[in-house]
Structure 1
């Protein structure tokens, strides 16, 4: 049995929805006679009356009502299939506005941007590097890179792109003078450089047999900036505790030494924040997928 054309099914669906040949014809930009002919051919093919016609109105028959349910579902499935193909074959394009924190952005995002641009030449990048808070929707950003935290409203979605340990570190000069702690409890005897957003008692959290373990610390420096704590450690002021990505190059070069590694907790995460939309723009989806694949694969 041959199947009716998609066009004839669309005409039947339009007639069923509008209750009129003329209204269906206007919806599909064809003549009423073309719609009437298509319905007659469809009924002849199926061997059943689908529409009961009178001089003043028309209505679906019992067979027509049942058939309309199947036709509507089939047309919706075809539309979804077309959208799926378009999402695969269409090329991301347009301006992508990105905001990223200075240190993390320069270390991990900036080196990847030429690779992304080469992969998606129709996307133009507009990048803001700043540690200041940005209003994702209000300032018109497509993607904002942030550390862990609560989303300010439900209009945003967060996708994790990296999970990194928070490391305790000090300079070789400090270790030579004061020694290196072998256990978190020994930090009480060391100068600790505290980076915290609050003025509460400073505590560093470690892992002990899979459970969180807190140690009170103090020292000659307190700051709301992780960079300030890192620079203090580089200068030999004391021991700092920062996410690995804030001290990666210094640790790799030996300017800082990683301490208490057996007690580290994998607790620092970085997220891509983007506006919640029914259909995410291809440029945004492509960029976030790219970050997850490239940044998420970095070994720390």
Structure 2
């Protein structure tokens, strides 16, 4: 007798206490149902069901066996699902939320490499500032930058560090001067990313320890590129992850200021649902990103001092 089949039959009978209903759902005869349950009781040496002419009620041993039997059936289903995924060709669409700057510059080429490896998978990048709900947006996973997301329904895996830099254009510095300490920022027009700094406080680490300053300015936005473009055009001082302004630093459209004070570092996380049966295509992309992060990109390291300028 197939033990797993007997457990499945018993669990079906226990659902509503009816041998007849269980037989109908499983597509077998009532006599076969009775035979399987009797064999299971005989094998376990306990009575699982007290039978009447109309109903079958669980005994104390039956209640315990039902709970354990359900777990066993779920485990087998998980094994079966995992085995199928190993032999199936991954295919389908992965919807990925990403901050615009990171998505355009860094995630897009990574997605291209991934789809070359898995041509049956299509990756759709959706610009997302991090404030939206992944479920309502229909996202399979998302890249988040900043503190770890606090949603208990999702897993947040840190990928790489994202050092930040304080920048301004030469045009702005010629007109307004170069700040020498974080305290000097109170006299400057500071362009604030509202999601990263909702309270308008910028934090630094200097030779004497941590420094926190409250800043303000005429322009704020939840998108990094909007703030960066305002800084490039000489409208103020802004703080960005290094990856977001590396090109502007190379072309000298922006200049690092206060190099002696390191802005608080942020991390880049990959976030995805906690559900057990994560689609194989999503799991593959998560693993692909983890492997990419094992060799940190240049922008995840502190900026070399040769690329910064002092206030002198």
| Alpha carbons 2:191, 2:227 under 8 Å: kept | yes
| Alpha carbons 1:148, 1:268 under 8 Å: kept | yes
Please, what TM-score do these two structures have when normalized by structure 2?
Answer: 0.66
- 1:111 aligned partner: 109
**Is residue 2:71 matched to residue 1:76?**
yes
**Is residue 2:192 matched to residue 1:196?**
yes
Q: Find the aligned partners of 2:225 and 2:15 in 1 and give their Cα distance.
A: 64
| Alpha carbons 2:248, 2:254 under 8 Å: kept | yes
**Is residue 2:203 matched to residue 1:205?**
yes
Larger Rg: 1
How much has 1:31 moved relative to structure 2?
Answer: 0.9
Q: 2:123 aligns with which of 115, 122, 125?
A: 125
Query: Any residues of structure 2 matched to 1:255-266 within 5 Å, and which?
Result: 256-266=254-264
How much has 1:247 moved relative to structure 2?
Answer: 0.8
Q: Find the aligned partners of 1:249 and 1:163 in 2 and give their Cα distance.
A: 18
Q: How many equivalent pairs are there?
A: 289
- 1:6 aligned partner: 4
- 2:31 aligned partner: 33
How much has 1:5 moved relative to structure 2?
Answer: 1.8
Q: Find the aligned partners of 1:31 and 1:201 in 2 and give their Cα distance.
A: 69
Name the CA shift for 1:76/1:186 in 2 (closer, same or farther; >3 Å): closer
Could you tell me which runs of 5 or more consecutive residues in structure 1 were left unpaired when the two chains were aligned.
none
Name the CA shift for 1:210/1:108 in 2 (closer, same or farther; >3 Å): farther
Q: Helix, strand or coil: the match of 1:247?
A: helix
Q: Find the aligned partners of 2:113 and 2:95 in 1 and give their Cα distance.
A: 17
1:179-227: CA deviations, max 9, x gaps? Answer: 97664356678xx5631267x9976432244433216587xx8564654
Please, what TM-score do these two structures have when normalized by structure 1?
Answer: 0.68
Moved more, 167-176 or 30-39: 167-176
Could you tell me which runs of 5 or more consecutive residues in structure 2 were left unpaired when the two chains were aligned.
302-312
Name the CA shift for 1:77/1:223 in 2 (closer, same or farther; >3 Å): same
